[in-house]
Amino acid sequence: MSAPIKSTILGFPRMGSDRQLKKLASYGLSEVPVGDFSYYDHVLDAALTVGIIPERYQQLDACRLAGNKSINVDVPSLEMKKWFDTNYHYMVPEVADNQRFVLHNTKVLDEFLEAKELGHNARPVILGPVSLLALSKPAKGAATKPLDHLANPGASLSGAQWVQVDEPILALDLDAAVYKAAFAETYNAFAQVAGLKFLLTSYFDRLGDNLVWAAALPVHGIHLDLVRGAADLDAALELIPKDKVISAGLINGRNIWKANLEKQLSVLAKITAARTPASVWVSSSTGHLDEETLGWLSFAEEKLEEISILAQAATNPDDVAAKLQDNSAKVLSRATSERITRAAVQNRLAELTAESYRRQAQFNERQKAQRAALRLPLFPTTTIGSFPQTAEVRRARAQFRKGALSQAEYQKYLEEETQKCIEWQDQAGLDVLVHGEFERTDMVEFFGEHLEGFVFTKKGWVQSYGSRCVKPPVIFGDVSRPHPMTVDVARFAQKCSPNKPVKGMLTGPVTILQWSFVRDDQPRSQTAAQIALAIRDEVVDLEAAGIKVIQVDEPAIREGLPLRKSDYSAYLEWSVNVFRLATTGVRNETQVHSHFCYSDFNEIFTAIKSLDADVITIENSKSDLKLLGALQVHGYSAEIGPGLYDIHSPRVPSVEEMAARFSALQQYIPAENLWANPDCGLKTRGWPEVKEALTNLVTVAANARKAH
Ligand code: GLN
Ligand code: ZN
């Protein structure tokens, strides 16, 4: 028997179980992480730990402490941003000029001690200081940048052996002149903490150029994502000094497919050939949030088993021979299944021509045709699609799923809700109405349930932000649309509103792809094109049913952007193409809308333009007009509705506040192209605040029309 190789993971799903430690150890993992769990957001936790708390909250706290209960609690929340290229949102910390770091919150420490009491010498996981500051933004009016404040926040985790420091920004294109020094300063300081060993981890992509200096940092171990960052391996073996541990991320933490253990074993063999077994760990590829993306508890557990099999097989293959054989058989059966490859879908893809990706006329001509057909006022008002998913709506759906409500009863209930929603919008004075999306839990599940090639789990929840979760479907085979999905509800909604157009509401191919677990046996672009054809059929059917405005949401298009600039263009090309494939099957009169959450659009503006949508709605209320500068720079000329208020908080924006924003918008966007709408869908809100906010919004547009 050779010395065993250690096995570990970088983190475990947040949703579901709260007995993680016990489980991890029982799967035979020798090194167990702790502190990766968060009740809300791990970036917020990290910021709180070191006392990064915006002044507006400190004041609030002080007032509360002073017993002042009648204080005005109207403080804007922190901005939320997508976590790398995942669908997770983190709270963006704000660093002020006078920022001091103090140990403000002892969560990691407490959890470490708790694990110790249970008999585990666990490895605390912290978000690295460089990443924390790089992901922060300057507080309003601050003259300094967050990174200027880099200081050693101090790790008082005495008694721990290993501390895992996650520095996911190492997977980005970094300015070496700035970051090499920032990392060196931080990790030199860490190295002074006696008795602690630091495992520097990075994931989401290759380290690339950053490897040269990251390998030289004075840490005790480096984790490599060898699924997404396989290209780093040769250089890493050369550059990482032999006395450091290499933690090999060989089991994909971002997807749910069984690993090909034979293939991963050969990668592991390459590492063990160059290192002593004691300095090699086998791990999951990605960090704790990726394990959350995985979110799928039983699958997460199988991954633990795969990791432990790999670790054993590296030194004692005979012990796990049967398990390895079983793995190869399953990998092979998937590769050859006829449920996966379907000729009709493949043929249709092969027959596409340039016309399949083009509208009949250019935007200017379409705009004229749409004006004549729709007769909308100046500054048309609309919403992004969903209306409040109240407890009652969710209860009705749950009862339908349990069989307590029949299909007909559920249908009737949905129609009543839709009708009420349409009538309210009409009375409130909105111009382009929506049916409210009461039949949907989230943007993807509904479509996945109606398309072929998808399967579902009952409990595969993953976190989107805070306590909000989604349940991604699994795309296992070729995708097609056996029957229309939204035509009935759209037709019904339009019937409830004879005088105003109702928008058909669909999720775009890139977003459906991005928010599913996607098959790994063909390029993502090909799976996306299959989804696009299904959506195209739906768009054409909606038009035939008399729907004049059709919105195809692509909130995830920015999130799918690769982390490295050199990978951008290939992604943007196919993602623009599949959107066009989905939306160009209609006449000039039919107005195609698209919606994107988030405003970090600079890198992709050319792509957004190439989507050739007639109207886009976009998050704007929190982005300090950055977006609008980009609009001008890139010469955006179609119609656009930058959101007038943030829907993530129950706060009702006043007429004055939105009017100020709306007049700022008019400096950048020609009046005849400007729409008035919220930032995003309203499903997380309650009716009273929605009614108040939208009534104010309609007033803003009406006043602006008068003033124009
Ligand atoms: N139409 C969707 C809704 O309103 C869009 C949501 C989103 O952009 N995330 O809910
Ligand atoms: Zn949105």
Q: Residue 222 region, left (φ>0) first, then alpha (ψ -120 to 50), else beta?
A: beta
Q: For residue 55, how many other CB atoms are within 10 A of its CB?
A: 12
Q: How long is the chain? A: 708
Q: Which pLDDT tens digit goes with each residue over 351-385?
A: 999 999 999 999 999 999 999 999 999 999 999 99
Could you tell me what percent of the chain has a pLDDT over 70? 89
CB-based contact 9:307 (threshold 8 Å): yes
At 497 the pLDDT is: 96
At 461 the pLDDT is: 67
Weakest mean pLDDT among 102-116, 418-432, 689-703: 102-116
Asked if pLDDT for residue 386 goes beyond 60, the answer is yes
Give me the residues near ligand 2 (ion), CB cutoff below 5 Å.
Answer: 555, 597, 680
385 in contact with ligand 1, CB cutoff 6 A:
yes
* 223 noted as active-site residue: no
Residue 19: band (very low, low, confident or very high) from pLDDT cuts 50, 70, 90: very low
Asked if pLDDT for residue 30 goes beyond 80, the answer is no
Task: Report the separation in Å between the CA atom of 135 and the middle of ligand 2, taken as the mean of its atom positions.
Answer: 21
436 in contact with ligand 1, CB cutoff 6 A:
no
At 10 the pLDDT is: 77
Residue 29: band (very low, low, confident or very high) from pLDDT cuts 50, 70, 90: confident
Task: Report the separation in Å between the CA atom of 680 and the middle of ligand 2, taken as the mean of its atom positions.
Answer: 4
Task: List, in order, residues 6 or more apart from 315 with CB less than 8 Å away.
Answer: 1, 2, 3, 4, 5, 272, 277
288 in contact with ligand 1, CB cutoff 6 A:
no
CA separation for the pair 466, 191 (Å, rounded): 34
Question: What is the average pLDDT value for the chain, to the nearest integer?
Answer: 87
Residue 317: band (very low, low, confident or very high) from pLDDT cuts 50, 70, 90: confident
Weakest mean pLDDT among 14-23, 214-223, 385-394: 14-23
Q: Which residue has the tokens 């007639």?
A: 614
Q: Residue 436 region, left (φ>0) first, then alpha (ψ -120 to 50), else beta?
A: left
Q: For residue 491, how many other CB atoms are within 10 A of its CB?
A: 17
Nearest atom, ligand 1, residue 384 CA? 4
Q: How far is CA 377 from the centre of its chain?
A: 35
**Which residue, by CA, sits nearest to atom 9 of ligand 1?**
555
683 in contact with ligand 1, CB cutoff 6 A:
yes
Q: Which pLDDT tens digit goes with each residue over 139-169?
A: 988 888 888 887 655 445 666 788 899 999 9
283 in contact with ligand 1, CB cutoff 6 A:
no
Q: What is the full DSSP assignment across 24-45?
A: HHHTT-SB-EES---SS-HHHH
Asked if pLDDT for residue 255 goes beyond 60, the answer is yes
More confident residue, 620 or 566: 566
Long-range interactions of 361-368: CB distance < 8 A, separation 24+:
361/588, 363/612, 363/614, 363/637, 363/638, 365/588, 366/588, 366/589, 366/591, 366/614, 367/614, 367/638, 367/639
Residue 570: band (very low, low, confident or very high) from pLDDT cuts 50, 70, 90: very high
**Which residue, by CA, sits nearest to atom 4 of ligand 1?**
681
Nearest atom, ligand 1, residue 597 CA? 8
Burial of 667 (0-12, 13-18, 19+ CB in 10 A): exposed
Q: How far is CA 571 from the centre of its chain?
A: 17
At 154 the three-state DSSP class reads coil
**Which residue, by CA, sits nearest to atom 3 of ligand 1?**
681
Q: What tokens appear for 107 in the block?
A: 């969560």
Asked if pLDDT for residue 708 goes beyond 70, the answer is yes
Nearest atom, ligand 1, residue 681 CA? 4
Nearest atom, ligand 1, residue 596 CA? 8
Q: Which of 112-116, 312-316, 376-380, 630-634 has the highest mean pLDDT?
A: 376-380
- Interior angle at CA 417, CA 411 and CA 420, nearest 5: 140
CA separation for the pair 122, 268 (Å, rounded): 24
Task: List, in order, residues 6 or more apart from 363 with CB less than 8 Å away.
Answer: 612, 614, 637, 638
386 in contact with ligand 1, CB cutoff 6 A:
yes
Q: Which entry of 42, 223, 595, 648 is annotated as an active-site residue?
A: 648
Asked if pLDDT for residue 182 goes beyond 90, the answer is yes
Q: What amino acid is encoded at 87 in this protein?
A: N
Q: Which residue has the tokens 């379907």?
A: 342
CB-based contact 700:644 (threshold 8 Å): yes
Residue 55 C-beta-side C-alpha neighbours within 13 Å: 10
Task: Report the separation in Å between the CA atom of 674 and the middle of ligand 2, taken as the mean of its atom positions.
Answer: 18
595 in contact with ligand 1, CB cutoff 6 A:
yes
**Which residue, by CA, sits nearest to atom 6 of ligand 1?**
681
Average confidence (pLDDT) over 321-330: 88
